[in-house]
Chains A and B, each alone.
Chain A
């Protein structure tokens, strides 16, 4: 009798324990994802692409990723490091998110990196890929699904070699990313750099720089002028008639975010990248047509990388069954990158930066009158960044 009673209490207790375990598992099923991107000022178009790309992946799966219900909290960093820091902190501390997805710009990433990482929350960058966290400061909680910042410029240097450019003028805005692109280009380019021009950030009138370029007797111009700067440069480059003698090559200057402004002036211009909306794999074609139907504009690399980020998280949640308590299991699942990327090949290097193919891209006008970039040929396959050897992971 006594023994029986003890048994009942024990089983009761056991039942209680299992039920609380079940209960907490049920809570954990709702996965919270915080997003920190730039949604104010002229660069808002880039942040919006990231939000739209992620939202598309969510909507296609009925608001779930990897079978788990997902709450997405979007925050605007206003392109101010202090605001980014505040938003990231509130996501981690108040909302207790499981993943932080961000940012567009590398300097915003530097601002949010520490507080997110120190709270053992996974930070996944859908665009910014600074060298800072690719080498010896790589981190088990940090992933990049885009590229390492220098890579596109390095590939541009390879393209210049292949195209037989002997003399090239480099022109970039005078800030860190601009100088990184110059360094990356010089690393692979074998010809002569005729001139290096550094303009102020947000430069309006390139007429004096274009006059300078016209006297340099160069085969090509390599530039990195994201956003409005790129729109102005391309228009003014065409108006100055430089296109007849000098090949325009660039990164992040003639892409889907700037082409609606540049239009015909940019057609035929070359760039380097890991993705183009016309890439022939099934996942990409489905993504591009669904995206255009939903949002009415041609997605750029920002949207594609963000869509990949959502699918990466989905693949990890599928593997772990949504259990966010086991960080190591989640990390292993993320590292496996077991999802179909719109870029075709995709894997993570030891530093959690992507290993992927890079292509020569060319701007083209579509039959429906819209503009996009097309992948002409693959320049380098399974290309890892130059810093991963320094990472001890």
Chain B
């Protein structure tokens, strides 16, 4: 593999990583702070993609569609919290898994009923439609650079909010000793609602960002949810820094591993064998990585401080 190709693959891995971070950030907050397993997080990512599609159809403006989608994703998150999740905080994880799994099925089917089973697409906004010539043959869309920047911006904002603001302090405290925070007169229920709303909005934002790159279809959030769980487990549950680091590691590891692994196998084994085994092994890579990291650091790479 040439150096140029390696650099391009690093860029691709970085872009995948930042997208994973956007999804994993909300998940790790909800899981870490509230100890709540929200399987519906992936479907909220799908909802974000459908929302931007629908609002773009209505308004004709991508910017307006993004703002409206974020508001709608937040609203949906708050409604789900109020009507469903609020009643499950005290229950065991099995009830939470069942209820949120039900929401996945419901919203996937709803998307199919409203928008049809086919795959929809949306164009990136006009001013981001260009691309940069990377090599003689290959161009890199400007929009993908913007997604990297958006991911980094969200990471910085979240980090500052969690470490430097009062809400952030309460979130950290709530993650460590919720009883104590409650005893000190903080409205924990309100705190949870805020965290949940922000988590839903982040998932929706990831969906909005992803929609012009990937196509929009029912069930698009199901697979990415599993990867997001891998990310937050590697990073340490509840930790924004950990989620960021893990998302980049997983993104780069998956993208580079896929190509390097097969090339590496071809050096040792005949092509037919590496073609058979390589792709199967490549799709297992991140899970092997997760297992390896968990052996060394069972708490994840950067666990939230003081978390049990």
Q: Is A227 an interface residue, CB under 8 A from the partner?
A: yes
By CB atoms of chain A within 10 A, which of B9, B137, B140 has the most?
A: B137
Given A198-B278, A205-B16, A214-B137, A235-B117 contact (CB < 8 Å): no
Q: Is the CB of B131 within 8 A of A239?
A: yes
Chain B 2-40 against A: per-residue CB contact (8 Å), 1 yes, 0 no? Answer: 101100110011011000000000000000000000000
Q: Which residue of A lies closest to B118 (CB)?
A: A45
Tell which of A212, A236, A258 touches B119, judged by Cβ atoms closer than 8 Å. Answer: A258
Cα separation A137 to B215 with both chains bound (whole Å)? 39
Write the nearest CB–CB distance from A120 to chain B, whole angstroms: 34
Tell which of B112, B131, B139, B140 touches A44, judged by Cβ atoms closer than 8 Å. Answer: B112
Q: Is the CB of B213 within 8 A of A236?
A: yes
Given A198-B278, A240-B138, A261-B215, A231-B119 contact (CB < 8 Å): yes
Q: How many residues of B contact A (CB 8 A)?
A: 45
Q: Is the CB of B121 within 8 A of A208?
A: no
Q: Is the CB of A202 within 8 A of B141?
A: no
Chain B residues within an 8 Å CB radius of A199: 279
Of the stretches B187-195, B216-224, B296-304, the one at the interface is B216-224
Q: Is the CB of A41 within 8 A of B224?
A: no
Instruction: Give the number of residue pairs across the A-B interface with Cβ within 8 Å.
Output: 105
Chain A 228-244 against B: per-residue CB contact (8 Å), 1 yes, 0 no? Answer: 10011001100111101
Cα separation A200 to B141 with both chains bound (whole Å)? 23
Write the nearest CB–CB distance from A357 to chain B, whole angstroms: 29
Q: Is B100 an interface residue, CB under 8 A from the partner?
A: no
Q: Is B102 an interface residue, CB under 8 A from the partner?
A: no
Q: Is the CB of A261 within 8 A of B121?
A: yes
Q: Is the CB of B141 within 8 A of A174?
A: no
Given A241-B131, A257-B118, A41-B258 contact (CB < 8 Å): no
Tell which of B116, B137, B214 touches A245, judged by Cβ atoms closer than 8 Å. Answer: B137
Chain A residues within an 8 Å CB radius of B217: 42, 228
Cα separation A235 to B214 with both chains bound (whole Å)? 8
Write the nearest CB–CB distance from B256 to chain A, whole angstroms: 8
Chain A 201-225 against B: per-residue CB contact (8 Å), 1 yes, 0 no? Answer: 0101101101110110000000000
Tell which of B135, B144, B213, B282 touches A214, judged by Cβ atoms closer than 8 Å. Answer: B135
User: For window 87-111 of chain A, which residues contact chain B by CB distance below 8 Å?
Assistant: none
Q: Is the CB of A214 within 8 A of B138?
A: yes
Q: Which residue of B lies closest to A210 (CB)?
A: B138
Chain A residues within an 8 Å CB radius of B144: 207
Q: Is A140 an interface residue, CB under 8 A from the partner?
A: no
User: For window 253-308 of chain B, which residues contact chain A by CB distance below 8 Å?
Assistant: 255, 258-259, 271, 275, 278-280, 282-283
Q: Is the CB of A228 within 8 A of B215?
A: yes
Q: Is A196 an interface residue, CB under 8 A from the partner?
A: yes
Q: Is the CB of B117 within 8 A of A45?
A: yes
Q: Is the CB of B15 within 8 A of A207?
A: yes
Cα separation A364 to B268 with both chains bound (whole Å)? 45
Q: Is B54 an interface residue, CB under 8 A from the partner?
A: no
Q: Which residue of B lies closest to A41 (CB)?
A: B219
Q: Which residue of B lies closest to A173 (CB)?
A: B279
Cα separation A373 to B73 with both chains bound (whole Å)? 38
Chain A residues within an 8 Å CB radius of B278: 198
Tell which of B12, B112, B119, B139 touches A241, judged by Cβ atoms closer than 8 Å. Answer: B139
Q: Which residue of A lies closest to B7 (CB)?
A: A211
Q: Is A263 an interface residue, CB under 8 A from the partner?
A: yes
Chain B residues within an 8 Å CB radius of A350: none
Chain A 277-307 against B: per-residue CB contact (8 Å), 1 yes, 0 no? Answer: 0000000000000000000000000000000
Cα separation A314 to B178 with both chains bound (whole Å)? 70
Apart from A208-B258, A235-B121, list 18 A-B contacts with CB within 8 A: A42-B117, A42-B119, A43-B117, A174-B279, A200-B279, A204-B224, A207-B12, A208-B12, A208-B13, A210-B138, A214-B135, A231-B119, A235-B215, A241-B133, A246-B137, A258-B119, A260-B118, A261-B215
29 A-B pairs with CB atoms under 8 Å apart are A41-B219, A42-B219, A48-B117, A174-B280, A196-B271, A196-B275, A198-B278, A200-B282, A200-B283, A202-B223, A204-B224, A205-B214, A207-B15, A207-B144, A210-B138, A211-B5, A212-B259, A227-B119, A228-B217, A231-B215, A232-B214, A239-B143, A240-B138, A240-B139, A240-B140, A241-B131, A242-B137, A245-B137, A261-B118
Q: Which residues of B contact A (CB under 8 A)?
A: 2, 4-5, 8-9, 12-13, 15-16, 112, 116-121, 131, 133, 135, 137-141, 143-144, 213-215, 217-220, 223-224, 255, 258-259, 271, 275, 278-280, 282-283
